[in-house]
Amino acid sequence: MQVILSISGKCAHLITQFLPEVDIDTELTEGSTDEESSSSKVGRNEYDQSVSALGKDVDKLLSISAEKRFFGKSSGIPYIPLIMQKRTQFLGKEKVDSIQQTLFMKRREQFWDVQSYYFLRIDDSLPDYLFPEEDLMLSLVDLYFTYHNCYLPLLHRPTFENDMKTGLHRSDYMFAGTLLLVCALGARNSYDPRVFYGCNGEAGWQWFEQITPFRSSLQDRSTTTLYELQIHCLSSLYLESVGLWESVWTQVGLALGLAQDVGAHMHRSNPPNARDELWKRAFWVLMFLDVSLACLHGHAVTLHYEDFDLDFPLECDDAFWDHPDPAQNFTQPSEQPSEISFFVYLLKLANIMSYIKDIIYYTRKPLIVLGGQHRPPETEIISNLDSVLERWIQSIPGHLRWDPSRKEQPFFNQSGFLYITYQYARILLHRPYIPRTSDSKTTSTLYPSVATCVEAAMSCLDVVNVQKQREYYIESLIVVAFVNSVTLTLLLIVWSGHGSGSDPFISKEMQSVFVSMEMMKAIENRLPSAGAFWDVFSELVSSELANVVSQSAGPSLAQPSVHKKRPREVPHPQVPIQPQYSQYAAQFQPLPHEYVSPDTWASQLTLETEQPASYSSSASESTAYIPSTEYHPLATYAQDPTGYPLAPQPFFPDIWSTEVTSDFDLESFFYHSNH
């Protein structure tokens, strides 16, 4: 990958001084690997490999059972075998005694044997799980893979379905738990009335609630298993779907800690195999959830880029894992685009978002460790990150580029997911620099962050508008949350006076807000958070409109907002499932429900006052927005990165006078390459 951002001379000098054996350009471009053969890296490789080998030896010594634990580079425990080796050499002995023979014989049992009552063991017997009827279970599994696994490919469908057909869920309680959670998630997209039985209106709850935490005690010392990580992923996704965000953030953090305990975050040099790929998928699903939640909620990410070196999942679809010729295993046909490529590029974008979160939204100024390097100007930081995002969007393959007329539904959905996330990332980068007040004498081109946020928000909602026209919304709560954040940013710009036109309510920005609101209204009965977002939008729109109306038409027209919190209606999926992508979906008819048309709720936003003649109350009549040539978010930086102010009054003023260690090649930093 071409390096577009150079490392400063001072930074290079410092790194050369402290790490003379490291080739900086190669490190940042290719990432840390176990396969480097350059003589300049021998010392570092030997260190990494020796720590790994010593960790395996000492694990046998310290573990009460044969279960494997991971010891990282900073741990002192892996040095025990090395110390024994050096001691033997110092004493002039020819043979190094086995660590197991030496230390195991000297262990005092009262300090090593943990009493059984100190910790709990999981009962391996199968709980009394209640599974769906056979026909319903097949339907729910199909719906899960059609509407969930296509975005976050946690499971390998052929393996999962084969295990289910052989009845593994009747004998293995961990797989049984995985299957129940798959059914619970599939129920969120099902028309079958049985998914609501005994669950207080939450589709799939009767299967989710059977899965109690397998690690029910802090004293549980059992090693993390693949099924356990998959269960954490699936339960987190289900909790998201019912709006329990706080529980998701906690559970994802716990799961990432468990993954580190067994080294699931570290690169493996094994030939491609199914087990390693499933471990990678589980870890990366957790990583994406963690970064997304951190950005959306303002929390710190659990793992930073430098804390793991696991390569991305192989861009090979499930059908091509196994081949009659073993040499062809995990080989994607060159003529067939991979659906897993979407996940890989989504993860690359998540790496960028994680860094944006750290460098723009930090809580405390970074410590100065190496030589007191000063933080580059804000315009330079934003310009560099803009370039990284631009390089990312240019790097994605053709079948994942956003095309409103794309016929292949899976790639249409995946490209929409990617494009919405990309526009959200741009807003995440620029939102802190939106000025608080409007200066009528200053054009938007002098505030490139405002222009970027407007263009990104309206481009994002263009995707939503196209989805509406094709009668299919991406019902991922992560996507819905991104759209919510984008819409709030657009409302901030409108009411701050930075929108187009003199009347905010009939501006093209507000029309895009209505597109977002229509999406939330359409899916609110399936995703409760969407209904909550709609309530917020309606309040932010109608309250401000009421003030405008009352000032212009007199006090008699001013009315309090009627759009308060609404009780949820009986859940029902209002957006039709595409039968051609789910062989079971067409078997069931929609449940009865009362549908409120866009004309009705859009007109309610006016508090029953008259609309300007130029405004159409139907959000469905608005046309797709084409970005105007007046916005040049990248061009304003390209000419002179420091020539224009980002904003006269940033929301976070502390970021203007802080320091970091150095600047470096951001682009290659983010693209965590496969080994």
For residue range 426-484, list pLDDT tens digits in order: 999 999 888 866 555 444 444 788 999 999 999 999 999 999 999 889 988 899 999 99
In a domain, 656, yes or no: no
Q: What does the pLDDT look like over 11-38, one tens digit per residue?
A: 444 334 434 444 433 433 344 444 444 4
Cα distance between residue 182 and residue 138, in whole Å:
11
| Closest-CA residue to 66 (of 218, 173, 220, 222) | 222
> Which residue has tokens 């690169």?
267
| Residues 274 and 368 placed together within one structural domain of the fold | no
In a domain, 644, yes or no: no
Cα distance between residue 670 and residue 353, in whole Å:
9
Total tally of structural domains belonging to the chain: 3
In a domain, 661, yes or no: no
pTM for the full model?
0.71
Q: Which residues of 554-571 are buried (b: 16+ CB within 10 A; e: fewer)?
A: eeeeeeebebeeeeeeeb
The highest-confidence range among 82-91, 493-502, 514-523, 582-591, by mean pLDDT, is 514-523
Q: What rounded mean pLDDT belongs to the chain?
A: 71
Identify the domain containing residue 530 by its residue range. Answer: 362-375+390-621
Cα distance between residue 514 and residue 598, in whole Å:
9
> Which residue has tokens 């897993």?
340
| Residues 220 and 367 placed together within one structural domain of the fold | no
| Residues 178 and 107 placed together within one structural domain of the fold | no
The highest-confidence range among 440-454, 587-601, 606-620, by mean pLDDT, is 440-454
| Residues 590 and 511 placed together within one structural domain of the fold | yes
**Among 621, 644, 668, residue at a domain's last position:** 621
| Residues 141 and 213 placed together within one structural domain of the fold | yes
Cα distance between residue 133 and residue 115, in whole Å:
43
Q: What does the pLDDT look like over 301-329, one tens digit per residue?
A: 999 888 898 999 999 999 999 888 888 88
pLDDT for 383 beyond 50: yes
Instruction: Count CB-CB contacts under 10 A for residue 478.
Output: 22
Q: Are 453 and 499 in contact (CB under 8 A)?
A: no
552 exposure class (CB count in 10 Å sphere: 0-12, 13-18, 19+): exposed
| Closest-CA residue to 487 (of 467, 507, 465, 509) | 509
| Residues 270 and 211 placed together within one structural domain of the fold | yes
| Residues 93 and 217 placed together within one structural domain of the fold | no
In a domain, 647, yes or no: no
Q: Are 563 and 539 in contact (CB under 8 A)?
A: yes
Share of the chain above pLDDT 90, in %: 36
| Residues 73 and 170 placed together within one structural domain of the fold | no
| Closest-CA residue to 4 (of 675, 670, 672) | 670
Residues sharing a CB contact under 8 Å with residue 179, sequence separation 6 or more, in sequence order: 131, 137, 141, 164, 169
Tokens representing residue 391 in the block: 């390089």
Q: What is the DSSP letter of 50?
A: H
Tokens representing residue 483 in the block: 């759209």
| Residues 98 and 164 placed together within one structural domain of the fold | no
Length of the chain: 675
For 3, 176, 208, the CA distances from 279, given in Å and listed in that order, are 31, 18, 23
Tell me the Ramachandran region of residue 294: left when phi exceeds 0, alpha when psi lies from -120 to 50, beta otherwise: alpha
**Among 621, 638, 658, residue at a domain's last position:** 621
Higher confidence at residue 575 or residue 518? 518
In a domain, 127, yes or no: no
State the pLDDT at residue 29: 34
**Among 48, 78, 113, residue at a domain's last position:** 113
Confidence of residue 74 (pLDDT cuts 50, 70, 90): low
State the pLDDT at residue 153: 97
| Residues 509 and 603 placed together within one structural domain of the fold | yes
Residues sharing a CB contact under 8 Å with residue 333, sequence separation 6 or more, in sequence order: 320
| Closest-CA residue to 449 (of 432, 461, 464, 463) | 432
Q: What residue type is assigned to position 139 of the chain?
A: S
82-96, 230-244, 550-564, 566-580: segment of lowest average pLDDT: 550-564
In a domain, 494, yes or no: yes
Q: Are 164 and 173 in contact (CB under 8 A)?
A: no
> Using DSSP, how many helices (H) and how many strands (E) does the chain show?
23, 0
The separation between CA 58 and the C-alpha centre of its own chain, rounded to angstroms, equals 35
| Residues 260 and 329 placed together within one structural domain of the fold | yes
Cα distance between residue 341 and residue 353, in whole Å:
18
| Residues 232 and 191 placed together within one structural domain of the fold | yes
Share of the chain above pLDDT 70, in %: 58
Radius of gyration in angstroms for the set of CA atoms belonging to the chain, rounded to a whole number: 28
- Average pLDDT in the 327-335 region? 88
In a domain, 102, yes or no: yes
Cα distance between residue 313 and residue 286, in whole Å:
13
Tell me the Ramachandran region of residue 204: left when phi exceeds 0, alpha when psi lies from -120 to 50, beta otherwise: left
Cα distance between residue 259 and residue 223, in whole Å:
10
Cα distance between residue 379 and residue 504, in whole Å:
29
State the pLDDT at residue 54: 53
pLDDT for 364 beyond 90: no
Q: How many CA atoms lie within 13 A of 40 on its CB side?
A: 10
Cα distance between residue 60 and residue 69, in whole Å:
9
**DSSP assignment string, 185-225:** HHHTT---GGGGTTTTT-TTHHHHTT---S--STT--PPP-
Cα distance between residue 244 and residue 252, in whole Å:
13
Higher confidence at residue 398 or residue 632? 398
Tokens representing residue 523 in the block: 């899916």
Q: Are 175 and 227 in contact (CB under 8 A)?
A: yes
In a domain, 10, yes or no: no
- Average pLDDT in the 77-92 region? 69
